[in-house]
Each structure stands twice: as C-alpha cells, then as structure tokens.
Amino acid sequence: MAKTQLNVRVDEGTARAARERALARGMSVNRYIEELVRQDTGAVGQTFVEAAADFMKQYEAVFAEEFAGEDDSTREGRR
C-alpha cells in the first residue's frame, strides 16, 4: 500500500506519550498513530472484543474460583 506523509504538530507531552506508548508496544510512532486512527475509524469494536478476551484469559482462574459450584439460580440472586 502506498504511504502518504502527514505532518502534525502536538505539544511535547503528547509527543513524549506517543513515543513511550509506541516503544512499549514495540512499534514505531508512525505505526502507533496509524493504529490509533484505524481504531477510531471503525475497528473499535474489534479492539474491544480482543481486549475483553485478553481480560477474561487473564482472570479466568479468579472467575472460576468465585463462581465454582454455583448454578444459574444462585447467580441470579447476585444480580
């Protein structure tokens, strides 16, 4: 895909944050900004689903322990 150069001006704090977040994610600032724009223009739902799946994987054991042995009627009482 052809690339187009886009120059933007941001304050130093925003620039620093972009550099730090890109570095933490192992990508260039250009790629980081490109990903943010893609998320904002339609892929937000997919990003949410992926983040939710990651959350559930991370806390699966906690949920399993909390709700072990409960049936649907017991869970209904929690709501």
Question: Do 12 and 6 meet the contact criterion of CB atoms below 8 Å apart?
Answer: no
Kind and range of the H or E element at 59? none
φ and ψ of 19, to 5 deg: -60, -45
Against a cut of 0.75, is the pTM above it? no
Question: What does the pLDDT profile of the chain (79 residues) look like in tens digits?
Answer: 688 998 999 999 999 999 999 999 999 999 999 988 887 777 666 777 788 888 988 989 888 888 887 665 655 555 5
**pLDDT score at 13:** 95
Residue type, 13: G
Identify the CA nearest to 18 among candidates 35, 6, 1: 35
For residue 69 the two structure tokens come to 């042995």
Question: Is the separation of the CB atoms in 31 and 22 below 8 Å?
Answer: yes
